Amino acid sequence: MRSETTFPMSRAVLNAYAEGQEDETLLPLVGVNQQQTPLGRIQPGDSIIFYNIRGEREIELSRSFTEENFRKFPVHPGLPVHFTTMIEYSKDLNTGVAFPPRGVLSDTLSDIIAAHGLAQAKITEAEKAVHISYFFNGKKSDPLPKEERIVVPTRKDVRLFDEAPEMSIDEISREAEARIQDPSRRFIVVNFPNVDVVGHIENEPAILRAVEAVDRQTGALVDQALRQNMAVIVTADHGTVEKWLYPDGGVDTGHTDSPVPFILLHPEQKFSLKSEGELTDIAPTILDLMGLPVPASMTGSSLIQKKPSPVVPVSRLLLLILDGWGLCENTKGNLIACAQTPVMDRLLRDCPHTRLAASGPAVGLPAGTVGNSEAGHLHIGAGRRIYSDRLLIDQAIARKEFHRNPAFLRAMENARQNNRALHLMGIVSFFSSHGSIEHLLALMEMAKQQGVSELYIHAMLGRRGEQAESGARYIRQVEEKCRSLGLGQVVSVIGRYWSMDREENWDRIEKTYRMLVYGEGTPVPTEG
């Protein structure tokens, strides 16, 4: 039987589990040699490929390696590296990009509203700010004319949000109520992030509190809007906690493939809705209700099946996005069904409603994959299907185009010609919306083909969408790949909590940086 010392990092992760740690917050593990010297540290002239996708949680760590005069924490003073990212995380980053952006989308829902001179407001807390701005607006960073973005600060007094499942929902609601009271705000988008954010943590009582907080505040805003003669749409971007158990009874803290609700409240009239639809149908429906033209680029269609006559366009509309609120008839493991949700129960009983597909091809993702907030908000705002970066990358691998990618070739050529190391860092997962282990394995194969002699893997783990203790299995898979290729070594492992941040928690990013550069972490003896 093969000795487990052949796979030291996966064994170290298992040992960390035994000590009470978990993937998401795993403290850094660093491979060392017999002299206790850290292996595979990033050094001047090395090549780095950060193979994650999505990008909003990858910017901070990328900045620490590429930004001139970086000041958020002390960095190595002489560490120029050849840095490449899978996609463009930010246009301001000085990196190579393997799969450049395909350009911003035009004629989105927000574009049409702005083009008609109407004021719009978008409100959430910092955890979801990028989703109702950048993604909702078709990957445009700057606000449109007469667009107001209100971002409530995310609490810094808790380590994880199961300590405060209500998050900043009261502040979000106060900001929303102020805009509802202002008749000049014609279109208002509110995102409640609680169910999604808290749902990624294995804490059932906390999730029930999150669900109930969202239900309560949904009722308050719906009542406020109807009193102001506004139309209201209640929907979600993907599912999460309505399928909280795997078939074997294990807890699933990831997103789901469930449909999401679409509920329409009109201050004066009732409509008949189609029996089903997709997230892409939301934008055309809103434009239909507001009497605005639906552009030809929106391939979605209005969900309104039968209109009363005569129809008077609504002058104002509130869109409530209950992040992570999926629909599932099975009550077993359904934490939404387990929670007290009198508001949503009443809306689904008394108001026109339907179910919208929010996963797989309906949101530009590979068949069989779960939904996510990026794809969800992008499709809600775009009104058309947009092929995801993950799908395009998967297709490139299948067509063998991946191994000819110029940005990857330059990174590997730099390592080979200058006798430097190539570092591959990113999420080690299959289900994460931030990346796939298949992309890592493809890069490892490419490095072998390109004659790279020194290859190091720096893995980030996360529980979202994965079974308990799945990180160790993934690390073992990568170690086995290194063995079969005769190239590469997993030299550091850390939880994504420390490496993938978007709220300027620079102390977390510094922990990852110091692991990568200085080898700070729990030493793991290896055969290297």
Pick from 285, 372, 317: nearest CA to 189: 317
Quote the pLDDT of residue 464.
67
* Tokens linked to 310: 């005569």
Give the pair of three-digit tokens for residue 378: 């992008």
CATH number for the domain spanning 206: value is 3.40.720.10
Number of domains, the chain? 2
**Token pair belonging to 104:** 């911003």
Closest C-alpha among 383, 243, 245 to residue 324: 243
The token pair that represents 311 in the structure block: 């129809």
Q: Mark whether 291 and 403 lie in a shared domain.
A: no
Local structure of 321: helix, strand or coil: strand
- In the block, residue with structure tokens 């789901």: 256
Neighbours of 497 (CB within 10 A): 22
- Among 372, 165, 339, 334, residue whose Cα is nearest residue 254: 372
Residue in this structure with the two tokens 């099946």, named with its chain if needed: 305
Helix (H) or strand (E) holding 426: strand 422-427
Q: Give the CA distances from residue 510 to residues 64, 70, 78, 332, 517, in Å, rounded to whole numbers and listed in that order.
A: 9, 12, 17, 41, 10
Residues 6 or more apart in contact with residue 257 via CB below 8 angstroms: 239, 359, 360, 368, 369, 370, 371
249 plus 189 within the same structural domain? yes
Residue 30 and residue 143 in one domain? no
**Count of C-beta atoms within a 10 Å radius of residue 349:** 8
Distance CA 306, CA 42 (A): 62
Q: What is the CATH number of the domain that holds 87?
A: 3.40.1450
Pair (205, 320) in one structural domain = yes
* pTM recorded for the entire structure: 0.77
pLDDT at 269: 79
Same-domain pairing of 274 and 363: yes
User: Does 35 share its domain with 123?
Assistant: no
Helix (H) or strand (E) holding 276: strand 276-278
Spans of the chain, pLDDT less than 50: 1-4, 528
Q: Same structural domain for residues 54 and 114?
A: no
Return the residue matching tokens 């107001």.
Answer: 148
The pLDDT value recorded for residue 2 is 41
Tell which of 360, 385, 410 closes a domain: 385
Q: Do both 172 and 227 map to the same domain?
A: yes
Which of 385, 404, 427 represents a domain boundary (last residue)? 385
Do 319 and 462 share a structural domain? no
SS3 content of the chain, % helix, strand, coil (to 5): 35, 20, 45
Asked whether residue 412 falls in the same domain as residue 312, the answer is: no
Amino acid identity of residue 341, one-letter, is T
Same domain, 184 and 312: yes
**Which two structure tokens, joined as six digits, stand for 279?**
């997230």
**Peptide bond between residue 310 and the one before it cis (omega within 30 degrees of 0):** yes
Cα torsion 237, 144, 293, 377 to 10°: value is: -10
By C-alpha distance, which of 369, 263, 267 is closest to 308? 267
Q: Do the Cβ atoms of 319 and 189 come closer than 8 Å?
A: yes
Question: Looking at residue 1, what is its pLDDT?
Answer: 31
Instruction: Residue 48: give the domain boundaries.
Output: 4-100+391-525
430 and 498 share one domain: yes
User: What crossing angle do the helices spanning 437-449 and 406-417 adopt, rounded to 10°?
Assistant: 50
Which pair of structure tokens corresponds to residue 362?
């309906």
> Among residues 367, 385, 403, which one ends one of the domains?
385
- Residue 278 contacts by C-beta under 8 Å, 6 or more apart in sequence? 300, 356, 357, 358, 362, 363, 379
Return the C-alpha torsion angle 189, 192, 193, 196, nearest 10.
-110
According to the model, what pLDDT value does residue 466 have?
A: 67
Cβ atoms of 173 and 215 closer than 8 Å: no
Helix (H, G, I), strand (E, B) or coil at 229: coil
Radius of gyration of the chain (CA): 24
